Amino acid sequence: MVVATETAWIIFFISIAALLALDLGVFNRKAHVIKPREALLQSATFIAAAVIFNIGVYIWMGPQAGLEFTTGYIMELMLSVDNLFVFVIVFASFCVPAEDQHKVLFYGIMGALVFRFAFIIAGVALVETFSWVLYIFGAFLIYTAIKMVLKKEEVAVEPDKNVLVRAFRKIMPVTRGYEGDRFFVRKPDATGKMVTWATPMVVVLLVVETTDIMFAVDSIPAILGITTNPFIVFSSNAFAILGLRSMYFALAHIMNAFYYLKYALAGILSFVGVKMLIADIYHIPVEISLAIIILILVVAIIASLIRNRRAGRHPAAETGKAPDGEEVQTEACPALASLQADDTSIESDRSVSKDSGKTRKGDE
């Protein structure tokens, strides 16, 4: 394994910072609804950046590292597409304004980079210290693949059951509605005192971050089945995650076109899991792994397109909520309504507490 130099890490972090600046300072300097064509252009930019970076990896770290980066990047992109299904449901459940969805995803990606870095460092250290952990990871990936195939498609967003959201709401009040694209505002509380309130945008961000953490549990062991080089693992993950936001706006309209996607993801996780379990018996070369992953992806896409053509359905019509707000089949905002209901009960509890306090003082 070729160890990345300090210079390589510096170049990597500068590249990530430059792409984040390009995203926020050029592509999305002003809040607006991102159309699919614009999102495709942005996606192409991030993919091109990943290709250029990988060329550098290939030149300075060797062909093996270059193939590992490519495999990790493609695999993370595919696994991240599963996140997009959840993002569509989250934004629909909270009725997030179309022009503000990018801001949530941008900061969500920033948080994802930090969490992924921590998970990857911990995962690599664990594998290097206890090599048998790879067998546990392999078995876990196979279990996840089976669960993915058998699980129901319905996904409910219930902020009142999210531990992170519940903990946050105990320390800060949340407004009943959105305040533009702001995460925090200064407003009077029940007593008239000016305090800092969080808006539902913060709750949506917490749900997005929680979702990414849950998906990282699958993706990190999967990439560790390809390579344990921390530089390759993190850089391939980071470049894939950076393109996730633009992928959402490019693909959210046609998510249901990829009917066989979950079977493809299950196939990839199963393959990597088996690869990890038989590593001591037979080592599958990274180029073979890359070819198998691409083959699974291509077969799933072709099979999905054939199914759609035979069924005569337009995939965009099946989407719960279009990211540009043109067609919204969801008539209510269940997650946002849940927050408002909780706020009512909280205010009621506060009023009861105040009244009981006054009663006690009167009794005295």
What digits encode the pLDDT tens for the residues 10-65? Answer: 999 999 999 988 887 777 777 777 787 888 888 899 999 999 999 999 999 999 99
Domain that holds residue 311: 6-151+210-332
Between 172 and 82, name the one with better pLDDT: 172
Tell me the one-letter amino acid at 219: S
Q: Is the residue at 173 inside a domain?
A: no
Q: Is the residue at 44 inside a domain?
A: yes
The pLDDT tens digits of the residues spanning 306-348 come to 988 887 755 544 444 444 444 433 345 766 766 665 554 444 4
Predicted pLDDT at 335: 66
Which H or E element spans position 17? helix 6-22
Predicted pLDDT at 157: 64
Predicted pLDDT at 271: 92
Q: Is the residue at 178 inside a domain?
A: no
Predicted pLDDT at 359: 42
Q: Is the residue at 195 inside a domain?
A: no
Which range, 132-141, 146-155, 158-167, is most confident?
A: 132-141
Predicted pLDDT at 153: 57
pLDDT band for 355, please (50, 70, 90 cuts).
Answer: very low
Tally of structural domains, the chain: 1
The Cα–Cα gap between 244 and 240 comes to 7
The packing angle between helices 36-61 and 63-94, to 10°, is 150
Q: Is the residue at 12 inside a domain?
A: yes
What is the average pLDDT across 213-235? 86
Q: What is the DSSP letter of 2?
A: P
Nearest alpha-carbon partner for 47 in 236, 264, 255: 236
pLDDT band for 73, please (50, 70, 90 cuts).
Answer: very high
Please state the pTM of the whole predicted model: 0.78
